[in-house]
Structure 1
Amino acid sequence: MRNEVRQRRMAMGLSQQELGRALGVSRQTVNAIEQSRYDPSLPLAIRMARYFGTTVEEIFHAD
């Protein structure tokens, strides 16, 4: 699954650590999601979408 987490995080000037803290996950989790090595749970995907002020579908794209 492709995602736009890195682009949105960088556009907000956040580090992986800062985003992880805001979402209640580790920096390693943010990194794994950005590298498409880990698909987040639905609750985490929803938290991310809300944090970025968009929808899950706008951030995550099924290949």
Structure 2
Amino acid sequence: MKNDEKSKYTKEQLVNADKYRHSKDLLNALLDADKLYSHDDVEQLIKRFLKGKVKAC
């Protein structure tokens, strides 16, 4: 396992990271300010959100 996969980061750190600059709004909506996340956690959350189904009106 890579070292960066073990590291945990705050919501603020991840939202401001260059790696996620295109997903800043999504991360603000998905991440909890009181939790820590690894890069793997964030990638899984993004992937799960993007694969979600759209509800018909």
**Fold agreement, TM-score > 0.5:** no
TM-score, structure 1 normalization: 0.33
More strand by share: 1
TM-score by length of 2: 0.36
Higher Cα Rg, which structure: 2
